[in-house]
Structure 1
C-alpha cells in the first residue's frame, strides 16, 4: 500500500494506476467501496441529489446548494472538473475541503482497493464520496462526470435525479445521437424516486426508461411550468407555486431552465427537506459559479465561459448576442482535441472579429496550430475575417494578454472552449482592466 503526505502526491499517484483515462463500468468501484473502512462500506445517511446532463449541470448544482444552505442545511457538493484547484471538487457548506482531510480519504481508498485498478476520476471521486459520507451532512449533491448509467457517481443511489439539457458530447462513449445519450443519462434514475428533467424537449429514451423502472418523472410543461417578463418570473408545479422570482444571478437565458429544474427537485423532496420561500429567493440572488458566462468588470469587457461543445457554444453565442453593442469581439480559444472543434468555431464565427488560439496544459488538448487549421478550414475567408485576424499563443494567459494589448476600451474579450482555457486565466490574478467610463464624468 502506498501512502503520501500531500494532495499533489496523491493525485500524481492516481494518474498512473489505470491503463486508460476513462473505463466505463461500476464493478471495480463497487468492490472497492464495499471494502472501505474494513468492510463498513460507503453509505449516506442523508438525502442525495444526483445531477446529469450535457450542459447546465454545474449551474444546477450551484443553485441547489445555495438554496439549501440558505434554508439552514449543512450541504456537501461534489463537482468536476475543477477550474483552478482540485479542492474545488469537494465542498462542505460551500467551502473546499482542506487538503489534509482529503489526503486521509485518499489513504482510505488506497487501503481498500488492494490490487484493484482505478482511473484517476474513479479514485478521486471515491475519496471525495468517502469524505462527504463521513461529514455528518444534511444533504449531498453529486454532479455526474460523464453519461450516467456507468459513471462512477452512479455508485450512489440517488433520492432525486436531475437531468439537464441533452446534446451530443463524448460520442465515442455515449453514442452519437440524443436518444442514445439520453438513455445513458437516464441511468441515474431510481425506481419510485423523483426524476426531474429540465430539458424542454427531452429524448424519448429518458421518458421510456423512467416509465420502465417506475421512477417519478417530472417534465417541463407537464409537471412544472414557468412564465414571466423582463423583470421577474414564476414557477408552478405539483401543488406549489413561487411567484415574482428574481432571475438567477448566473447570467444567460439558459439559467432559467436550470433554475426551474432545481425548484422541481426541491418541491419533490419538500417532505424531507422543507425550504421557506425566502431561501429560494436568496439562493437565486446570491448563487455564484465562476466561468459560466462570468463578466469581469472593467474595460474592455471580459467574458469567461467554459462552453466546450457545440450545444454550450450555441448558448454562449445567444448570450453574447444579448449583450450591448461592442465594436470588436476578441476570442481567446483553446479546446480538447476530441471535441467537435469545427462545429464550435462555425457557431462562434458570426460574433467573433479576432481569434487568439492557445495551447492548453494537457495531452488531450488540440494545439494552437491544430486550432488554426480547423479555423482555416471552417471559417477563414468567410465574411469580414481575414487571416491576420487569427494568431497563436503558448497559453490562455498569453493569449489574453495579447487580446488586451490589441483591444480598445470599448471592445469585448471572450475566453472560452474548455475548462482548461478559463481555468488557466483564473489561476492567477486577472490582468487589471480600466474602470468603465461613466457618462457625464471626466476620464
Structure 2
C-alpha cells in the first residue's frame, strides 16, 4: 500500500537502527550514486552554528526576485515537514515528497538511511526534476559528515562557529570549525562570516586549495544613518577573481529579519551571490526586494499586537548572546516574561547564565519527546542560576496561555529555548 507523507515520516523516525542521527557519507553517498543525483545547476551549501537559516532565506528571496528558479533545503521544520523542501520559497507538495521517498526506497536496497538522509536526497531529487536554476542546501549538523556534503558546493558558506552538538562535533571551537569547514571544495569559493576565523577552518581551506573569503577583509558592510547600509565586495589577490574586481551595493534597505546580526548574515549571502555572478547575474533591485521579503519564522520573530511577544528558536550560548543583544535593544517593558523549555542534550546552563538578567518571571513546561527535559529538571537548572520566579505547566501551550492571560499590554513575553518550544506556540496561534 502506498504510504502518505505522514506515514512515511512516522516510518523514517524509527526505521534506521541508529536513530535519527548517524554521521557519515558512505551510505547516503551510495544511494545518491544509484539514483544518479548529480545537480547540473550551481549549488550553494550553508553551514554554521547560527545564521544558516537566515542566509538561506536571503539567498532564496534574492535569486527568486532575480527571476531564477530556486530550490532550498532547510531544517528543522516548525509546523510541516514540507517547509524543509521549497521551490521559490514555497514548500513543495506532499505528493512530490512521497514520490521522491518512493524513488529513494527503490534505490537504497539493503542500505539503511536516517530521516535526514531521506530528507536530503528527496530535496535534491525534487529540485532536479523541477529543473531549478540554483540549489541552496542548509547543513543539518556540522558539515564534513552531514548528508548534504555528498553534494559538491560551487560556493560554501560558514556563517559562524561556536559550541553546539559537542557529542558529535567536538568540545572546542577549533574542532567544531574543522567539521564545518568540511563543506569547502578545492578551487571553489569558501565564505566565512566570522572574524577572526578559527584557525582550523583557515588551515583546512588552505590545505584543499579553497579560496577563503573573510568577513572584514574580502567583504564588509557599513551602516548608514538613514536606515540603509552598503555592501562592499573586494576580494584579495590570489582568490581567483580579477585583480581589480570590486563591487559596492549601496543604499540597501535594512533586512526584514529582526536583529542587528542580520546585516552580517545578509553580507554572507551577498558574497555568495557575487561568487556566482557570472553564471547567475543579480541586479540591485532584486537584492533590495529580496532583503525585504526574507522571512525566517521563529528567529526573533515579533508577533503583532500587545503585549509585545517574540518567538526565538535559540538553543545554544551563541544564539543566547544574540537574543540578549536584541532584547536589550527593545523598548522598556514593565514585566519581562520567559516561556521556556529546552532539550536535555543542550547547554542549558550556558544559555541561562547569558539571558537570565533579561527576565522577571519564567513559565516553564516539558517538551513531549525523548530528549525533552522534564519540569523537575528544568526547575533545578533555573534554581542553580538563582532564578526563583517560576511557574510550571504540563505543556508549553498552557504556559503561553497563562503568560498571555496574566500580562498587561506594557509587558513582554519571549518564547524561546528550542525549535520545539516555538513550534508548540506557533501551532497554538495557527489554531486561533
CA contact (8 A) 1:345 1:379 kept: no
For residues 419 and 11 of structure 2, the distance between their equivalents in structure 1, rounded to whole angstroms, comes to 23
Counterparts of 1:25-424 in structure 2, within 5 Å, are: 25-36=24-35, 41-230=36-225, 231-238=227-234, 239-380=246-387, 387=388, 389-424=389-424
**1:133 Cα deviation from its structure 2 partner:** 2.0
**1:28 Cα deviation from its structure 2 partner:** 0.6
Q: Which residue of structure 2 lines up, in the alignment, with residue 440 of structure 1?
A: none
**1:374 Cα deviation from its structure 2 partner:** 0.4
**C-alpha distance 181-198 of structure 1, shift in aligned 2 (>3 A):** same
CA contact (8 A) 2:25 2:147 kept: yes
Q: Write the deviation string for residues 243-272 of structure 1: whole angstroms up to 9, x where unpaired.
A: 121111100011111011111111111001
For residues 129 and 369 of structure 1, the distance between their equivalents in structure 2, rounded to whole angstroms, comes to 43
Q: Write the deviation string for residues 18-39 of structure 1: whole angstroms up to 9, x where unpaired.
A: 2222111100111111122xxx
Q: Which residue of structure 2 lines up, in the alignment, with residue 441 of structure 1?
A: none
**1:424 Cα deviation from its structure 2 partner:** 1.0
For residues 308 and 131 of structure 1, the distance between their equivalents in structure 2, rounded to whole angstroms, comes to 31
For residues 13 and 296 of structure 2, the distance between their equivalents in structure 1, rounded to whole angstroms, comes to 27
For residues 241 and 34 of structure 1, the distance between their equivalents in structure 2, rounded to whole angstroms, comes to 41
CA contact (8 A) 1:4 1:10 kept: no
Correspondent of 1:8 among 2, 6, 9:
6
Q: Which residue of structure 2 lines up, in the alignment, with residue 437 of structure 1?
A: none
**1:431 Cα deviation from its structure 2 partner:** 8.5
**1:177 Cα deviation from its structure 2 partner:** 1.0
Q: Which residue of structure 2 lines up, in the alignment, with residue 438 of structure 1?
A: none
**C-alpha distance 125-276 of structure 1, shift in aligned 2 (>3 A):** same
For residues 221 and 91 of structure 1, the distance between their equivalents in structure 2, rounded to whole angstroms, comes to 32
**C-alpha distance 431-19 of structure 1, shift in aligned 2 (>3 A):** closer
Gaps of 5+ in 1: 381-386, 433-443
For residues 430 and 25 of structure 2, the distance between their equivalents in structure 1, rounded to whole angstroms, comes to 40
For residues 430 and 401 of structure 1, the distance between their equivalents in structure 2, rounded to whole angstroms, comes to 14
CA contact (8 A) 2:27 2:111 kept: yes
For residues 141 and 431 of structure 1, the distance between their equivalents in structure 2, rounded to whole angstroms, comes to 31
For residues 247 and 151 of structure 1, the distance between their equivalents in structure 2, rounded to whole angstroms, comes to 33
Q: Write the deviation string for residues 16-71 of structure 1: whole angstroms up to 9, x where unpaired.
A: 222222111100111111122xxxx1111110000000000000000110110110
For residues 94 and 225 of structure 1, the distance between their equivalents in structure 2, rounded to whole angstroms, comes to 27
Q: Write the deviation string for residues 229-251 of structure 1: whole angstroms up to 9, x where unpaired.
A: 34221111131101121111100
Would you say how many aligned residue pairs link Structure 1 and Structure 2?
419
Gaps of 5+ in 2: 235-245
Q: Which residue of structure 2 lines up, in the alignment, with residue 425 of structure 1?
A: 425
For residues 392 and 201 of structure 1, the distance between their equivalents in structure 2, rounded to whole angstroms, comes to 42
CA contact (8 A) 1:74 1:138 kept: yes
Provide the secondary structure at the position in 2 that maps to 1:281.
Answer: helix
* TM-score with structure 1 setting the length: 0.92
Q: Which residue of structure 2 lines up, in the alignment, with residue 384 of structure 1?
A: none
**1:288 Cα deviation from its structure 2 partner:** 1.2
Q: Which moved more, 1:47-56 or 1:358-367?
A: 358-367
**1:430 Cα deviation from its structure 2 partner:** 5.4
Q: What is the aligned-residue RMSD (CA, Å)?
A: 1.2
Q: Which moved more, 1:92-101 or 1:123-132?
A: 123-132
* TM-score with structure 2 setting the length: 0.95
